[in-house]
Structure 1
Amino acid sequence: MKYLKYTSYLFLFLAIVLLVDAIMRLDHPDGGATLSFMFAAVCVFMFFFRRNMAKRFENRSKGQQ
């Protein structure tokens, strides 16, 4: 289950991509920047959530051994 440590960084990468996309869409009249900002915020939240859960999982598995 070592991949759980690395999946949180995928959320961080996705948040950066969505922020760049939202900044590029700010000038367009069609909009869509708000949705990209919201998804980026969710990705940042998921980054910290998954990192915290991975640490908890690691500490729990160390305590059982």
Structure 2
Amino acid sequence: MGYLKYTQYVYIAFAVYFIYDGVTKMNEGAESYPLSFVIAGMAIFMFFFRRKFVKKFDDRNKKQ
């Protein structure tokens, strides 16, 4: 399950993209820019959640 350590960084990439998307939409005057910031916030939350899950999973495997 080594790939779990690296998939958490995909969420950071999504967050960066959606922050960029939100800023460009906000500067253009589009009304849908808050949705981009909400998705970016969720992606950041998922990054930290996955990171905690991977640490918990590794600690459990070390004890066995």
TM over 0.5: same fold? yes
Q: Which shifted more, 1-10 or 22-31?
A: 22-31
Unmatched runs of 5 consecutive residues or more in structure 1: none
SS, match of residue 15 in structure 2: helix
The structure 1 segments of at least 4 consecutive aligned residues displaced by more than 4 Å after TM superposition are none
Matched pairs, number: 64
Report matched runs for 1:15-54 at 5 Å. Answer: 15-54=15-54
The TM-score, its normalising length taken from structure 1, stands at 0.93
Unmatched runs of 5 consecutive residues or more in structure 2: none
For 1:36 and 1:9, locate their aligned partners in 2 and report how far apart those are by CA, in whole Å: 18
Cα deviation, residue 47, structure 1? 0.2
Q: Between the two proteins, what is the percent identity of the paired residues?
A: 39
Query: Structure 2 counterpart of 1:13, which letter?
Result: A
Cα deviation, residue 24, structure 1? 0.2
For 1:44 and 1:27, locate their aligned partners in 2 and report how far apart those are by CA, in whole Å: 23
Q: Given the alignment of the two structures, is residue 55 of structure 1 paired with residue 52 of structure 2, yes or no?
A: no
Q: CA RMSD in A?
A: 0.8
For 1:6 and 1:26, locate their aligned partners in 2 and report how far apart those are by CA, in whole Å: 31
The TM-score, its normalising length taken from structure 2, stands at 0.95
Q: Which shifted more, 43-52 or 23-32?
A: 23-32
